[in-house]
Structure 1
Amino acid sequence: MTSQPASTPSVSVTRDGHRRFTGRSQRGGVVAIGDKSYPDTFTPGELLKVALAACAGFSAEQAITRRLGEDAAVAIEVGGDAHATEDRYDVLTERIELDLSSLDESARARLITVIGRAIDQACTVGRTLEAGAAIERTVEQLDADA
């Protein structure tokens, strides 16, 4: 594996079997990754969608809780179908569900605007996808003695 500066969080995956991996964060987080034949896993595409949804939630949380309270229920769904012939998504759709019944129409509109701005400004995952980040890849010899 390539070493990264200490300030850059990294994740890793290790192969557990045919089309099945375990993902790990430096902080000890673990996630099961597999193709659709494994019901207890996330596919890589699902993880991408989860990352986008969570990033939107993190980015909008302060605006939401400030206006709706610390116990405000928030559900974020990200969907999107893979391109028919290319292994990629053309469009990812993001839907945020909130109980806005305590707000008048003006306050609802303002909150919706603030949520959009917060996500556009602070969601690293969304901003990275929109910018089309480059991927730098290396393949290295496994050290058999390690």
Structure 2
Amino acid sequence: MPSRGPKDQRNVAKRAFQEVVTESLPRLLAAFPDMPVIVAGDLDVIERGHQPPHKVFGAWEYSFYDSFQAAGLTDAFRHLHPDEVAHSWFGRTGNGFRFDHLFVSTPRADRVMACDYDQEAREAGLTDHAVMTLRLCLPSASLEQGEAPATSTC
């Protein structure tokens, strides 16, 4: 997510990026109808109802977060932790934000086994963001051509 540069241009670049991503999401899912699609990253947006609330975010930023669900993607962390307050980045004042998100195609959301934030690298000063982890249960692929895929054991 573009978030650097002259202050008067940051939201212009951020909005342009969000518009391109929003337009691309349906095509991405359509290109891989039989596969799980995973979209992850530091999106520099928070979800509606974020705790604590941050008034600096505009309706257009919340709409960007919502565009993932509208396109057929599920927030993997929220899917498993509907009420948990978690943050992936902390500002200089100590305010927490859940900026980092991991979405999976909604038809595969039932295969999300774990999705969490690991703060260790951030706390060690290696990065300013928490690491997101995902465990997704997938059926094993058949090695023989023409065989039906084996069922998963997850």
TM-score w.r.t. structure 2 length? 0.24
